[in-house]
Amino acid sequence: MKVKIKKMHEDAVIPKYAKPGDAGMDLTATWMEFDHERKIVTYGTGLAFEIPFWHVGLIYPRSSVYKTSMVLANHVGVIDSGYRGEIMFKYRVLNDDWQDIYDIGDRIGQIIITPFPKIDFVEVEKLTDTERGGGGYGSTGS
């Protein structure tokens, strides 16, 4: 699938797969901004995408985030097909450890672009019975 991408910053890095079969492509920081009061670092990628209709861009942290003192503030970013702005990440800094964070030029996250179905909800009086039923958190074991 071809996806249009626009560089909005001269240092922006076009994402690519690191290895054959990878699901995500790494995104690189071109700028960063601090909000010390809220303990948030915002990173810009300098990139905008034209995600195809009936597709979504999902942005996740990279697995290497465990080496930092940060967590992605919204856990998973949803980039809808109509969005044309810059892809950004907001990380929450834990324990006020501002030394152990990503820097400009670092790979700060990854994007997966995937199709999704169009859903039409149908209201019913009864749902199909299952073995699990209404069992929630922890109902299938520890």
Q: Where are the domains of the chain?
A: 4-115
Q: What tokens does 3 get?
A: 């996806």
Which CATH superfamily groups domain 4-115?
A: Deoxyuridine triphosphatase (dUTPase) (2.70.40.10)
What does each C-alpha distance from 118 to 2, 52, 81 come to in angstroms? Answer: 21, 14, 13
Q: How far apart are CA 15 and CA 3, in angstroms?
A: 11
Read off the pTM.
0.87
> For the CA atoms of 123, 124, 129, 132, what is the dihedral angle to 10 degrees?
30
Instruction: Provide the residue-wise pLDDT of the chain in tens; the chain has 142 residues.
Output: 999 999 999 999 999 999 999 999 999 999 999 999 999 999 999 999 999 999 999 999 999 999 999 999 989 999 999 999 999 999 999 988 888 999 999 999 999 999 999 999 999 999 999 887 787 776 666 5
